[in-house]
Each structure stands twice: as C-alpha cells, then as structure tokens.
A and B are shown apart, each in its own frame.
Chain A
Amino acid sequence: ETGVTQSPTHLIKTRGQQVTLRCSSQSGHNTVSWYQQALGQGPQFIFQYYREEENGRGNFPPRFSGLQFPNYSSELNVNALELDDSALYLCASKRAGGPNEQFFGPGTRLTVL
C-alpha cells in the first residue's frame, strides 16, 4: 500500500511569484485535504477536495486554490506569494465514508524571500 507522497520536498520562491505543490493520495483514498503549518504551530486547514470539487475551506484567501484529478491526486496553487506564506504544506488523504482517519504526507517546505 502506497502512502501519501508530496513534491517537491523543498521550494524557494520570491514575493509575488506563484507556486504549485503536488500530492498523491494513499491507495484507496478519494478525499484530499491541504494544511499549512507555520513554524512552532499546529497545522491549519486550507481546503478539502472530494470528487474533484472543493467541499470545505478554512480561513485562507482566494489566492490559495486547488485541484483534484480523476486519480485523486491533487495540487495546491498559491498566487502572489507573501513572506508569511513561508511554511510546511501538508497534504492528507482519507477514504470518504470511512472512519475519518487522515494520513499525512511528508510535506513541502516553502520559503518565500
């Protein structure tokens, strides 16, 4: 059984640029969520995708957007990067209708200069 994978591992961007992060869900999982974790804090929910549609969103501005593909993989896009976007971005997957146990990937460390 393949776990959640994310790419890239690390990324450095400058303020104002755009970035795309990628996630492959765990085998058999059809729901993907993205979380942002600032240094020293717990992760914060960005949004969730099920059946290629966003079905839940946290308190993040519209410049944070996402996609889910037919194979359940997902992308997180962030436009007009700000210094405060520097964080660890975590992807989690679960099986809809299951016990709501979420499994996390290793994360992508984004640094905005």
Chain B
Amino acid sequence: KQEVTQIPAALSVPEGENLVLNCSFTDSAIYNLQWFRQDPGKGLTSLLLIQSSQREQTSGRLNASLDKSSGRSTLYIAASQPGDSATYLCAVGSGSARQLTFGSGTQLTVLP
C-alpha cells in the first residue's frame, strides 16, 4: 500500500526567503508525482507534474525534483511571497487506475 509523508507539517518564513518542502513515498512503482496548492476551504490547484522518467520540473519560481529510487521529492520555492501562503500537497500516481495517493500537506505561511 502506497503511503506518502510530507515534512514539515507547517512552516512559517519571512517574505523573500527560499524554502524547500519535502515529500516521501513508500512504493517506488509510480507513474508520476504531482504537487498541488490548496487555499483554505478550496479545491486543489495543480502546480507541477513530474513523470516517473523525469528528474525535475520548473514553473516560474517553483522547482520540483523527483528521486524515484529513494522515494523522495522536493518542492523548492524561490523568493517567497505572502501570496504563496497555502497548504502544499504532494501526490503520487500509482495503481491500476493511476489514482493519486496524497500526503497530509505542508501548511506554509509567508510573513510580510
């Protein structure tokens, strides 16, 4: 059974700081890994998708890496802004339906 863990559970940083969110998973037989952002009480916004054959993806100030063999992914956020405050969720696609298994998220607060 696939299990996904995200560390830390919560993080508070001053504006402008670079930061790293961590995600680990127990079964390396994955199709892909997807990072999402969730604002309070809202749905999920897809940030980055990394296929199992890829090592990293970049979008603007975001960079996600994937090390499938060790079961780890990181999301790097450069020059953080108060608008980045949200919960960040990591999810791995696996299983017959390629369904997503989520971690519990990292709640990020960027202080002005």
A/B pair count, beta carbons within 8 Å: 69
Rounded to whole angstroms, the CA-CA distance of A90 and B95 in the bound complex is 19
Contact of B49 with A106 in the complex, beta carbons under 8 Å = no
Contact of A48 with B97 in the complex, beta carbons under 8 Å = yes
Q: Which of A14-22, A35-43, A68-76, A79-87 contacts B (4 or more CB under 8 A)?
A: A35-43
Q: Nearest Cβ in chain B — how far from A99, in angstroms?
A: 6
| B: number of interface residues (CB 8 Å) | 27
B45 cross-chain contacts in A, Cβ below 8 A = 104
Contact of A41 with B44 in the complex, beta carbons under 8 Å = no
Contact of B49 with A101 in the complex, beta carbons under 8 Å = yes
B36 cross-chain contacts in A, Cβ below 8 A = 104
Chain B interface, >50% SS class = strand
B51 cross-chain contacts in A, Cβ below 8 A = 99
| A: number of interface residues (CB 8 Å) | 27
Q: Which of B14-22, B62-70, B71-79, B102-110 contacts A (4 or more CB under 8 A)?
A: B102-110
Contact of B34 with A102 in the complex, beta carbons under 8 Å = yes
Contacts A90-B43, A99-B32, A101-B46; A42 near B97 (Cβ below 8 A): no
Contact of A55 with B103 in the complex, beta carbons under 8 Å = no
Contact of A56 with B100 in the complex, beta carbons under 8 Å = no
Rounded to whole angstroms, the CA-CA distance of A56 and B101 in the bound complex is 13
Rounded to whole angstroms, the CA-CA distance of A41 and B6 in the bound complex is 11
**Chain B residue with Cβ nearest A106:** B43
**Which 3 A-B pairs rank lowest in CB-CB distance, beginning with the nearest?**
A56-B97, A42-B102, A104-B44
Which residues of B come within 8 Å of A, CB atoms? 4, 31-32, 34, 36, 41-46, 49, 51, 89, 91, 93, 95-105
Sample 5 A-B pairs with CB under 8 A, ordered by A number: A42-B102, A42-B104, A43-B44, A43-B100, A107-B42
